[in-house]
Structure 1
Amino acid sequence: MKARPEIVTVITRRNPLIRWSDRLEAALMIGAVLLVLLAIPFAAAAGSGAYAEGRERAVEQAANRQETTAVLLADAPPVHVRLDGVPLDEKVEVAARWTGPGGLIREGVVTVDAGMVTGNEVRIWLDALGHPVEAPVTDTDALSQGIGVGTGLWLGWLTLVATVFLACRAALGRRRAAEWAREWQRIAQNRPAA
């Protein structure tokens, strides 16, 4: 929503053809544009906070997780194929064996791609106790989260402001149409018979 020069003219100029609803609509548009622009710093701050939080989580997880190799003890279910012949990228859980912290051999369930067979090696991440966990959050993940939060908040605010503005504009349009109808009716009643 960009304020056009005509809008400012509608608000400030004295013109008998400009109704109060035209002035109100112009003021609402300027207000909506200002509200959307003023929300940018708040959305950026929220995104920056989400990024900082993600970075802290990435540092903490990188310090407490280690990568190792696990050997599958069973076959994973076969890969499913869509009707058009494209294989689905599915993750499944399969029994595996790995060496945990302190050199302890452990067995458990790990998440792998469908179609893997017994004896395949997969890279997994372990927590401090040697249990399989998700890979640690990366800086890229934290950045994506920050951008997503900031952009999402701003777009949500933009949608709300635009919805309120359009609802007010529609109400003003209906009121103007009703005023025109009354004006034409009054003119028709005052018109001399031919």
Structure 2
Amino acid sequence: MKARPEIVTVIKRLLCFTRNPLIRWSDRLEAALMIGAVLLALLAIPFAAAVGSGAYAEGKGRAAEQAANRQETTAVLLADAPPVHVRLDGVPLDEKAEAVARWTVPGGLIREGVVTVDAGTATGNEVRIWLDASGRPVEAPVTDDDALSQGIGVGTGLWLGWVTLVATVFLACRAALGRSRAAEWAREWRRVAQDRPAA
């Protein structure tokens, strides 16, 4: 009973790195392209991680800046927000709407303006809003979790985009090699047909 070949031998056979005369040059080229594609995908991981880390650091800095310049307060609605829309299956949509509200800024000054609230919120309800340094309504500050999600998303998206590009180029080259092999087979069959003696 033959012993199982070593893993290196198996890899060599899979990648066509043997002296088998039946292996064509195109098979070896395709194997080399496959190795190159895998290496390019792996080498891109540190670069994608670095870009993702940069995006995370930028988002974290923005979160710290916004947290320092924005403050949360309570506003009272002066008008009903537009009603909640319902899907065809009867499930209400979780959406935002704008409504007029009144709030107090630091220093005791009362202001009125349009704020973003949940759709369907009735007049007189209290809602939490964020104000900038001048007392105007703004979006909630970015959190560290948002910055982390942004960093992961940027890094992962960059790497997946690179892998998609590399895979597309590899598949295009593989298709071209396939057409070349098919044409080579056709030439060989024509040569065989010409060399065969007539009956």
Residue in 2 that maps onto 1:168: 173
Matched, 1:123 2:128: yes
**TM-score normalised by L of structure 2:** 0.93
Q: 1:61 aligns with which of 58, 66, 83?
A: 66
Distance 2:121 2:198 in 1: 92
Q: 1:133 aligns with which of 132, 138, 142?
A: 138
Q: Can you list the C-alpha shifts for 1:142-193, whole angstroms capped at 9, x where unaligned?
A: 0000000000000000000000000000000000000001101100111112
Q: 1:88 aligns with which of 83, 86, 93?
A: 93
Distance 2:176 2:74 in 1: 65
- Report the count of equivalent residues: 189
User: How far is the alpha carbon of 1:14 from its aligned partner?
Assistant: 2.2
Matched, 1:142 2:140: no
State the one-letter code of the partner of 2:102: R
Residue in 2 that maps onto 1:152: 157
**TM-score normalised by L of structure 1:** 0.95
Q: Can you list the C-alpha shifts for 1:5-38, whole angstroms capped at 9, x where unaligned?
A: 1343x1x322221111111101000000000000
Matched, 1:109 2:123: no
Unaligned runs of 5+ in 2: 1-9
Aligned sequence identity (%): 86
Q: Is the 8 A contact 1:101 1:129 kept in 2?
A: no
Q: Can you list the C-alpha shifts for 1:85-129, whole angstroms capped at 9, x where unaligned?
A: 000112111100001122211100000111111101000000000
Q: Is the 8 A contact 1:97 1:106 kept in 2?
A: yes
User: For residues 60-79 of structure 1, what are the structure 2 equivalents within 5 Å?
Assistant: 60-79=65-84
SS in 1 for 2:107: helix
State the one-letter code of the partner of 1:61: Q
Unaligned runs of 5+ in 1: none
Q: Is the 8 A contact 1:70 1:97 kept in 2?
A: yes
